[in-house]
Amino acid sequence: MFVKFIALILFTLLIMLINLCLGDLTVAPIEALNAVFGQAGSSEIHDVIVGIRLPRLLTAFVVGLALATSGYLLQALSRNDLADPYLTGVSSGAAVGVACAMLCKLDFQTIPFFAFIGGITASFFVASIARGSGQYGVSVAKLLLAGIALSSVAGALITLAMSTFGTQLMAQGLYLWILGGISGRNWQELIPTVSYVAVGLIVALAAAKQLNLLALGEETASSLGLNVGRSQLIILSAAVLLASSAVALSGMVGFVGLVAPHLSRRLFGRGARLQLVCSGLTGAILVLFSDLLARTLSPGQELPLGTLMALIGGPFFIYLLSYSLDQVHSQ
């Protein structure tokens, strides 16, 4: 297990270095590292590495880490392996909040807060519908259908707001942001968002014990002395804060929170604290790799990050859904 964990860390660092080196201007690894530490051989390399690629790869890392950790929290909370910020409508709710902030021309520092308000509102709406008839348990069908319905409504609201209140330039910017991508992200946008992500991660790690108890079932956890309602609210808030922060940075990038926790569980087991870290790093690798493809697959133009992740995550979701249905029919 320790060897696997070290390998995961080393692979994360490797994909970050590759992202730093490759692009329209290919830079040798030693030159890229020298530029990061303030010893660039030329001003051009310094500007490309420190001014463009470094904030971009750190943004990809933060987005992947936040979405994957949020996905793991939602799956653990609902005890449903199909839960994901994108599929459950949390990302769509956050997108409405971001769109409102953009249309009001607010500073970027306030956008993650508005995204959180939209995301938490969406999560409460979906959770209230997905609850089964009993006190415990979540209906998988209701969860997915409520998420799909909410995403449709959120998309319609954003389109209506763009066409009614926004300028053509603003509408174009919002459209590109909805497609998902981190092109042009800079230090001024990254640093404020990192503080929100850090709070979400700290809360999530602090709630690892509660997650392990909730994995036994809500009734069992309650009988062991856990305040189930309060714990669920704290964990849900952390999940929404992480997903909303990622949406504020990258727009709608789906399926990271679905794919990464599943891959991590296959490799590292199910312990909550270990899974929080490993799922996050796996998600970071997924987004870093997808962003690398977005920049290099088609020279001269950039593919939307959200589109690439949908091509990866969509078939994976279909496989999981069919597997879950087979499990239900076999019981």
Written as tens digits, the pLDDT of the chain (331 aa) is: 789 999 999 999 999 999 999 988 899 999 999 999 988 778 889 999 999 999 999 999 999 999 999 999 999 998 888 889 998 999 999 999 999 998 888 888 899 999 999 999 999 999 888 775 544 556 667 888 899 899 999 999 988 888 887 677 777 778 888 888 898 888 999 999 999 999 999 999 999 999 999 999 888 999 999 999 999 999 999 999 999 999 999 999 999 999 999 999 999 988 899 999 999 999 999 999 999 999 888 877 888 899 999 998 889 888 887 876 555 445 4
With CA atoms as reference, report the closest residue to 61 among 285, 303, 244, 276: 285
What is the rounded CA–CA span in Å between residue 143 and residue 298?
37
Q: Assess contact for 63 and 249: CB atoms under 8 A.
A: yes
Residue 24 within a domain: no
Residue 68 within a domain: yes
Please tell me whether residue 201 adopts helix, strand or coil conformation. helix
Please tell me whether residue 82 adopts helix, strand or coil conformation. coil
Task: For residue 261, give both structure tokens.
Answer: 């926790």
What is the rounded CA–CA span in Å between residue 60 and residue 190?
10
Residue 21 within a domain: no
Q: Assess contact for 279 and 68: CB atoms under 8 A.
A: yes
Residue 273 within a domain: yes
Residue 51 within a domain: no
- Cβ partners under 8 Å of residue 96, min gap 6: 118, 122, 154, 157, 158
With CA atoms as reference, report the closest residue to 220 among 276, 138, 139, 136: 136
Read off the amino acid at residue 316: F
Q: Assess contact for 241 and 67: CB atoms under 8 A.
A: no
- Give the Cβ contact number of residue 247 at 10 Å: 34
How much is the pLDDT for 328? 43
Instruction: Please report, to the nearest 10 degrees, the dihedral formed by the alpha carbons of residues 237, 243, 248, 252 taken in order.
Output: -140
**How many degrees, rounded to 5, is the angle at CA 287 between CA 67 and CA 57?**
110
- Cβ partners under 8 Å of residue 38, min gap 6: none
> Residue 270 has what DSSP assignment?
S
Residue 303 within a domain: yes
For the chain, helix (H) and strand (E) counts, in that order, are 15, 0
Query: Range of 316's domain?
Result: 57-77+84-330
Residue 6 within a domain: no
Q: DSSP letter string over 222-245?
A: HHTT--HHHHHHHHHHHHHHHHHH
Residue 3 within a domain: no
- As for how many domains the chain has, the answer is 1
* Chain centroid offset of residue 271 CA: 21
CATH number at residue 152: 1.10.3470.10
